[in-house]
Amino acid sequence: MCYTDPVRKHAHKTLRNMKIAAFICELNPLHEGHCHFISEARRKTGADYLIALMSGDFVQRGEPAVLPMHERAEKALHAGADLVLQLPDVYACASAQYFAEGGVRLLDSLNCVDALCFGAECADGELLLKTVDLLNSFHKDMQPLIRKHLTEGMTYASARSKALEDLLREHEPALADQVSDLMRAPNNQLALAYLQAMHSIHSSMTPCTVPRDPGFKSSSQIRRELFNDTSSASEDPYLIADDFSLLLKDRLLRSDADALSDYLDVTPDLAHRIKNKQNEFLSWSQFTDLLHTKEMTRARISRCLCHILLGIRKDDLSRDIRYLRILGFNRKAAPLLSYLKECSALPLITKQDADQRDDAADLYQSVLTDKYGIAFIESHEQPVQVI
């Protein structure tokens, strides 16, 4: 599935002098490290406009976002983004590979993005590209080694890293330690997924690596501090996975093992374990821990549960995306919006019709309303954030 029209793209590139950069993000929540990244992305690319393709109300960890997407979009604009588009849930809640592939394809479909920016622990962009080449070159030989390491209890990411390390020790030993260390870092893994996705569709976007500054707190650290701060827990309008526990349990009780196996990432084995243990369900987080095995990480299990809750099925990944939704923009970016309407292969919408309503967003708003007494606003009535 490729949305890019090469002829149209070439024609429109001759009509403008502006430089456009983009990044894929969650901002869950936005913090100083993100602000640093946005500033560096604009500086390193010299971009006139910066587009953020941001997850909606559910994120790649397989959980609800801490804050609603429109609030996060507004914060992204104040931090320096010119336009915030929504990454559809089928990609936003998927594994790193599909998260990256979906985001890269959609940005490429805009037919005007010059640079894709992403953070990484590795500051050496050439080494990242070299690692992608190695992953592609050794892809077939890595598969039996990955399966072997998975049976030893490794996660998929660790098994893939170890498989490549095994092959490099045999064929290119000088690179083995360097590449192995690189692949252990989570942001590097996502950076590699972006680069592989760009390579697979022959994207004309130029990769731009922004080294991650370890001096800033991560989103994970900030979420842990927020959740552990009982003094403010009843005041701050944020959501956690356990706020959706009863809704998730209802979905599980209504589905047999065969039906559960249709959801994205859910294996038949996991589906049967869910049904066998469903009477022990107390909360989303407790059930995730209960289902955890050495072969399947908590993050993957939570992602599977999220897919079940949102009704995301395996064949949804192959469905065409019909439009991109604008969550917010800077008034100064009016020329960018006009240009995108001309060159994008997908229509950009600011207001959803009744048949375009976002069920996941309505679910999120319903729980937010119930927890904090906030007025419910249907997804197709949510206003675009403008600063």
Residue linked to tokens 């993100």: 34
Residue linked to tokens 């931090």: 79
**What is the arithmetic mean of pLDDT over 247-269?**
97
Domain of 291 in residue numbering reads as 234-316
Both 137 and 271 in one domain: the answer is no
User: In this structure, is residue 51 part of a structural domain?
Assistant: yes
Cα-Cα-Cα-Cα dihedral of 252, 256, 259, 262, to 10°? 70
Residue linked to tokens 């894709």: 116
User: In this structure, is residue 239 part of a structural domain?
Assistant: yes
**What is the arithmetic mean of pLDDT over 215-239?**
77
Banded model confidence at residue 236, pLDDT cuts 50, 70, 90: low
Structure tokens at 296: 């399947």
Q: What is the pTM of this model?
A: 0.92
Tell me the pLDDT tens digit for each residue of 23-81. Answer: 999 999 999 999 999 999 999 999 999 999 999 999 999 999 999 999 999 999 999 99
Backbone CA torsion sign across 3, 190, 202, 137? negative
Both 102 and 145 in one domain: the answer is no
The number of angstroms, rounded, from the C-alpha of 33 to the middle of its chain's C-alpha atoms is 17
Both 264 and 367 in one domain: the answer is no
Pairing of β 206-211 and β 49-55: unpaired
**What is the arithmetic mean of pLDDT over 181-190?**
92
Residue 225: other Cβ atoms inside 10 A: 10
User: In this structure, is residue 225 part of a structural domain?
Assistant: no
Q: Check: CB of residue 106 under 8 Å from CB of residue 324.
A: yes
Encoded amino acid at 142, one letter: M
Residue 354, pLDDT > 90, answer no
Q: Which letter, b or e, does each residue of 343-378 get, where b requires 16 or more Cβ atoms within 10 Å of its Cβ?
A: bbbbeeeeebeeeeebebbbbbbebbeeeeeeeebe
User: In this structure, is residue 227 part of a structural domain?
Assistant: no
The number of distinct structural domains making up the chain is: 3
CA distance 37 to 44: 10
Q: Which of 259, 293, 316 is the last residue of a domain?
A: 316
Structure tokens at 49: 């406009």
Both 327 and 287 in one domain: the answer is no
Q: Which of 316, 344, 359 is the last residue of a domain?
A: 316
CA distance 335 to 214: 36
CA distance 272 to 242: 22
Both 39 and 84 in one domain: the answer is yes
Residue 118: helix, strand or coil by DSSP? strand
Nearest to 63, CA basis, from 373, 358, 310, 331: 310
Tell me the pLDDT tens digit for each residue of 95-136. Answer: 999 999 999 999 999 999 999 999 999 989 999 999 999 999
Both 116 and 44 in one domain: the answer is yes
Both 321 and 195 in one domain: the answer is yes
Share of the chain above pLDDT 70, in %: 93
Both 105 and 210 in one domain: the answer is yes
- Which range of 6-20, 51-65, 155-169 scores highest in mean pLDDT? It is 51-65
